[in-house]
């Protein structure tokens, strides 16, 4: 339940527990790799940024080179901060700004993962590689920021320990009522989406498209055999993902989400590692919230006639607009609720430090 925290006189932690000592070097290696990726793309004229299926100018790859070079210089300043050559606030603010830019480049990675799982391919492998590298950079830059800010202090509580301390995890607790209400609203937003997809999977007609037509469209778009088999059995794969998303957000706001469910056999009674629910949560929130919010603005403009919504595979633009409202509305509400639930989970499960000998086992 508890383990030694890093202190001046404490025991030596494992290599993984000592990540503040190597996070900066890992971020520097990433910056060099990502910069090389952007340089090759810029020199060869390869597009790495896409808007839907349309490639953006290949010259935008120079942005990657600039961001990676800036990250490398700033990370070096953070690693060598013991000399205080650069003010700490300047380094921290610069790293946070680079995190934001890199996170923008990683936008759409979740969609690529879902597409890869269902169609065994992605729209563009270069764009997916760019998003994966950018997402890796976000993690390493955040780790570098934390290590830089807490140099000489405990990574968990921010204090400087003068005696050995132990890291303990708080008891499972529910999220505040306001956060739980947001989580329930996010889960409820998926109900119309799941119902629409299930109607098609069962062979019914919605928005002027029958289940047979939808299955033919999926086959034409290269859906995987597993996805097509589930669809023929009346089970929509994206509806299953929505159910998993509901399970995830409930686990973030309820106490049982901090321990493995009672019905598990091998892992019964063990605590869930914090990164296990937070990794998909942060990726999902960073993708679905902005994607859904921008999509809702587009749907609103289409509703009022400011833009023309293409009908695609639907009989009329009105049918396409109805499906747009249902799908993107679910993504927007769920994505925002997921972000709130993740922040609450992060704060409620944060380990605390207690001095040894005060009833705390070493």
What confidence score (pLDDT) does residue 12 get?
40
**Strand partners for 54:** 51
What confidence score (pLDDT) does residue 220 get?
85
Distance CA 224, CA 119 (A): 5
CB 55 within 8 A of CB 47: yes
What confidence score (pLDDT) does residue 127 get?
92
Of the CA atoms within 13 Å of residue 306, those in its CB half-sphere come to 7
**Helix (H) / strand (E) containing 167:** strand 165-168
DSSP state of 257: G
Q: Is 77 helix (H, G, I), strand (E, B) or coil?
A: helix
0.95 exceeded by pTM:
no
Task: Please give the structure tokens belonging to residue 31.
Answer: 């910056």
Task: Please give the structure tokens belonging to residue 351.
Answer: 């380990």
Task: Please give the structure tokens belonging to residue 173.
Answer: 């607790």
pLDDT averages per 10-residue partition of the chain, 362 residues: 41 58 90 96 92 84 95 89 67 90 88 80 88 92 83 60 70 91 95 94 92 89 81 89 92 83 51 81 88 90 88 89 93 94 90 65 48
Distance CA 351, CA 17 (A): 14
Q: Is 174 helix (H, G, I), strand (E, B) or coil?
A: coil
Q: Is 11 helix (H, G, I), strand (E, B) or coil?
A: coil
What confidence score (pLDDT) does residue 357 get?
58
CB 111 within 8 A of CB 238: no
**Strand partners for 354:** 166
Alpha helices (H) in the chain, listed in sequence order: 19-44, 61-79, 88-105, 109-119, 125-149, 177-201, 211-220, 225-232, 237-253, 275-303, 317-348
What confidence score (pLDDT) does residue 265 get?
46
Instruction: Give the per-residue SS3 of 208-233.
Output: CEEHHHHHHHHHHCCCCHHHHHHHHC
Place of tokens 């040894």: 356
CB 241 within 8 A of CB 248: no
From residue 21, alpha-carbon distances to 78, 93, 128, 138 in Å are 11, 20, 30, 18
Distance CA 33, CA 253 (A): 38
Of the CA atoms within 13 Å of residue 53, those in its CB half-sphere come to 2
Task: Please give the structure tokens belonging to residue 322.
Answer: 């109805």
């Amino acid at each position: 339940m508890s383990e030694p925290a890093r202190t001046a006189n404490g025991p030596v932690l494992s290599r993984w527990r000592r990540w503040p000592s190597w996070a900066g070097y890992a971020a520097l290696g990433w910056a060099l790799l990502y910069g090389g990726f952007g340089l090759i793309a810029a020199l060869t004229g390869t597009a790495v940024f896409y808007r839907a299926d349309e490639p953006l100018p290949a010259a935008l790859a120079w942005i990657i080179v600039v961001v990676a070079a800036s990250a490398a210089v700033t990370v070096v300043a953070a690693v060598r901060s013991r000399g205080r050559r650069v003010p700490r606030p300047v380094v921290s603010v610069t790293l946070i700004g680079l995190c934001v830019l890199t996170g923008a480049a990683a936008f759409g990675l979740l969609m690529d993962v879902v597409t890869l799982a269902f169609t065994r391919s992605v729209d563009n492998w270069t764009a997916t590689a760019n998003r994966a590298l950018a997402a890796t950079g976000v993690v390493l830059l955040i780790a570098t920021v934390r290590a830089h800010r807490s140099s000489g202090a405990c990574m968990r509580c921010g204090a400087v320990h003068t005696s050995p301390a132990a890291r303990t995890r708080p008891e499972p607790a529910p999220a505040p009522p306001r956060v739980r209400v947001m989580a329930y609203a996010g889960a409820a937003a998926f109900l119309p989406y799941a119902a629409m997809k299930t109607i098609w999977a069962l062979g019914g007609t919605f928005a002027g498209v029958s289940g047979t037509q939808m299955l033919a469209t999926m086959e034409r778009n290269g859906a995987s055999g597993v996805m097509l088999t589930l669809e023929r059995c009346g089970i929509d794969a994206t509806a299953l993902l929505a159910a998993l998303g509901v399970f995830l957000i409930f686990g973030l706001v309820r106490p049982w989400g901090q321990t493995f469910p009672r019905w598990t056999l091998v892992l019964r009674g063990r605590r869930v590692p914090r990164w296990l629910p937070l990794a998909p949560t942060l990726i999902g929130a960073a993708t679905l919230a902005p994607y859904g919010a921008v999509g809702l603005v587009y749907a609103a403009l289409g509703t009022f006639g400011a833009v023309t919504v293409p009908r695609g595979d639907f009989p009329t633009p009105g049918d396409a607009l109805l499906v747009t409202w249902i799908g993107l509305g679910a993504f927007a509400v769920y994505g925002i609720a997921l972000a709130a639930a993740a922040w609450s989970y992060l704060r409620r499960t944060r380990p605390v430090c207690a001095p040894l000998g005060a009833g705390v086992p070493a």
